[in-house]
Structure 1
């Protein structure tokens, strides 16, 4: 009888423990799958963005270089020389300031191989912060200076309207460059996750999300 009770208790323990273990395992696998999407999609997007904008600025540099000497209108030749400088600066920026996502993917794969989930979470926060900084005022100020000087040079040549158009066009292109950057990590962090808020004996079920935006970093709780 004692052996039977021991056997029954063992079976009961297995029945209770097995679903819990499977649930934890499924939850962990789901987390890894989400991180796979964040880092792999981010690296893929970063490579497309990098090569795409590098090609755009390289083409612009070549066209402006040709126009600077071959255009029939003197004003067009002058504007093309200004364009050569702007395109060269933009191309140099693309070649020297690369997206962090490919390196983050390599680090993620290393952390995943060792099962370091907390390290992956920290890496995701770092990547989201980098995305936030690349969409912040720093990127816009440099463009504002370059396009402002270019527009002023053209305006000083006696063509204020052309200078204004050059400035506005340059700022528009820069905004497109900024806002087409990958933001997979920021989007993943900004998604709401289930959580419980405990206040003494009271437990309030709800959801929380960390928000990463160009000019702010915060958290939101809803129930």
Structure 2
């Protein structure tokens, strides 16, 4: 537009540019700061302390675990041991019962037999002495009729000395009519002419020895 109004109209053909504004900045002034300088924050880590703590925590955990496992194993072992002891006790009691059931009758028989043998051994000397006295008394009773005869034959008695003494005491009235000859035998032998009387003390002694054998 060349007309005088052109300067009042917007020119759509060219991009308008804002007018540049110029101003002067005030000079920089150095200001003294009253605050400490800010340094970057960095956390300090004690590696040795961390290692010790980790070691202690691991050791504590391992110890607790081992203690628990040990206690459990010990309880299981004790329970097993008690069960074995109970089984052994039952087997022992059962074995004792079976043994006593079988052994008591045999033991009773043996005790009875041993007691009988002991009784016989204790009574043997008394029985023998009693039997000797009885044999001497019977022999004396057999000789008394012969001693009562008017014509007496010489009577000779031989045998153990203590039996000869017993017979002599029983036949005091015979005096010198009877001759006593002590010997080492067991029986008393009485000779009257053709008659011979012999006690059975040796047979009794043999039977007694068989009982004691």
Same fold (TM over 0.5): no
The two structures have a TM-score, normalised by structure 2, of 0.38
Which structure shows the bigger proportion of residues in helix conformation?
Answer: 1
Structure with max Cα Rg:
2
Structure having greater relative contact order (Cα 8 Å, sep ≥ 6): 1
TM-score (norm: length of structure 1):
0.37
